[in-house]
């Protein structure tokens, strides 16, 4: 259904643009360079508007998407790293000293915990998955029972 709708829209747009190109041939033979430049600018704008409209219509955008493994601890560490970064910038970006040490420590803690959480996503599984796997024992797929 969606593909049929998309094809219909594209056909309509292509026909419209095709007829405008035929009109351009008439303008090019009759009019001067200024008319051609104005037409090309207008045509370009129409093509860009058409592509933007198709993008808004058919491209799904996920808003407020968070990873399921994101935790309160990661939020806390991220906030600390951001605060340390702001303090570091306000202190004119020192390369050494207590402000630089705190910035590096907070950033290191945040990155380390982020890496741990990302790895845990691949190694562990949720209780729902565990339950589904234990319940599915005995189902037959083809000629093999699992």
Same domain, residue pair 31 and 54: yes
> How much is the average pLDDT of 26-31?
69
C-alpha span between 107 and 78 (Å, rounded): 8
- Position 80 scores a pLDDT of 96
Residue 83 has pLDDT above 90, yes or no: yes
Mean pLDDT, the chain, integer: 76
| DSSP H or E stretch at residue 116 | helix 98-123
Q: Are residues 39 and 88 in the same domain?
A: no
Residue 136 has pLDDT above 90, yes or no: no
Q: φ and ψ at 36, to 5 degrees?
A: -65, -45
Domain identity same for 77 and 126: yes
Please enumerate in sequence order all residues whose Cβ is within 8 A of that of 137, keeping only pairs 6 or more positions apart, or say none: 146
Does residue 143 sit within a domain? no
How far is it, in rounded angstroms, from Cα 2 to Cα 63?
22
Please report the pLDDT score of residue 146 as a whole number: 47
Let me know whether 6 and 37 are in one domain. yes
Of 17, 33, 58, the last residue of a domain is 58
Structural domain total, the chain: 2
Same-domain check for residues 39 and 6: yes
Domain that includes residue 125, residue range:
72-133
In this structure, are 32 and 82 located in the same domain?
Answer: no
Residue positions counted in the chain? 146
Whether residues 43 and 80 fall in one domain? no
């Amino acid at each position: 259904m969606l593909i049929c709708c998309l094809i219909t829209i594209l056909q309509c747009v292509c026909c419209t643009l095709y007829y405008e190109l035929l009109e351009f041939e008439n303008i090019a033979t009759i009019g001067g360079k200024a008319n051609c430049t104005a037409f090309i600018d207008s045509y370009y704008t129409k093509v860009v508007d058409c592509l933007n409209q198709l993008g808004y219509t058919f491209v799904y955008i996920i808003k407020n998407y968070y990873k399921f493994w994101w935790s309160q601890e990661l939020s806390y560490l991220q906030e600390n790293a951001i605060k340390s970064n702001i303090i570091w910038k306000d202190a004119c970006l020192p390369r050494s000293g207590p402000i630089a040490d705190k910035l590096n420590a907070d950033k290191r803690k945040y990155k380390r915990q982020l890496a741990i959480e990302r790895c845990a996503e691949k190694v562990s599984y949720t209780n729902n998955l565990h339950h589904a796997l234990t319940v599915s024992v005995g189902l037959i797929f083809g000629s093999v029972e699992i």
